[in-house]
């Protein structure tokens, strides 16, 4: 994706453990490490590797109670491997999930 990671996996794991200490140990916590570029070419493409930024978010995110659910098929799909790095979580996972939920 043209980004230049600024932290080792070990450092990210360490920061995560430090952040988890602020929770009570019983709370379901969503852990979201993120990299993005602040600068790049036209509309940020391609990314300027020197402008890569990092953020680690930890927040309470309880799981839905196991009381049953409905299943359907949405017309929204992840991009194909020819058009997007589909093995990366960045391949429109969150936007398409949001669109499917609203549908």
* pLDDT tens sequence across 44-54: 678 889 999 99
Label residue 97 by pLDDT band (50, 70, 90). Answer: low
Question: Would you kindly state where each structural domain of the chain is located, as residue ranges?
Answer: 1-64, 71-103
Fold of 1-64: D-amino Acid Aminotransferase; Chain A, domain 1 (3.30.470)
pTM of the model: 0.63
Q: Is 49 in contact with 2 (CB distance < 8 Å)?
A: yes
83 contacts 96 by C-beta, under 8 angstroms: no
Position 19 scores a pLDDT of 97
What are the φ/ψ torsions at residue 37 (nearest 5 degrees)? -105, 135
Scan for tokens 């932290």, then name that residue: 7
Q: How far apart are CA 72 and CA 7, in angstroms?
A: 40
What average pLDDT score do residues 68-92 get? 72
**pLDDT one-digit tens code per residue, 21-63:** 999 999 999 999 999 888 887 766 788 899 999 999 999 998 8
């Amino acid at each position: 994706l043209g980004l230049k990671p600024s932290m080792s996996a070990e450092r990210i794991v360490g920061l995560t453990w430090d952040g988890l200490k602020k929770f009570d140990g019983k709370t379901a916590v969503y852990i979201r490490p993120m990299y993005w570029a602040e600068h790049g070419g036209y509309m940020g493409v391609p990314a300027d590797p020197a402008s890569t930024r990092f953020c680690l978010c930890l927040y309470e995110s309880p799981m839905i109670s196991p009381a049953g659910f409905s299943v359907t098929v949405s017309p929204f799909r992840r991009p194909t491997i020819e058009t997007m790095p589909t093995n990366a979580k960045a391949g429109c996972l969150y936007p398409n999930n949001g669109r499917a939920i609203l549908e």
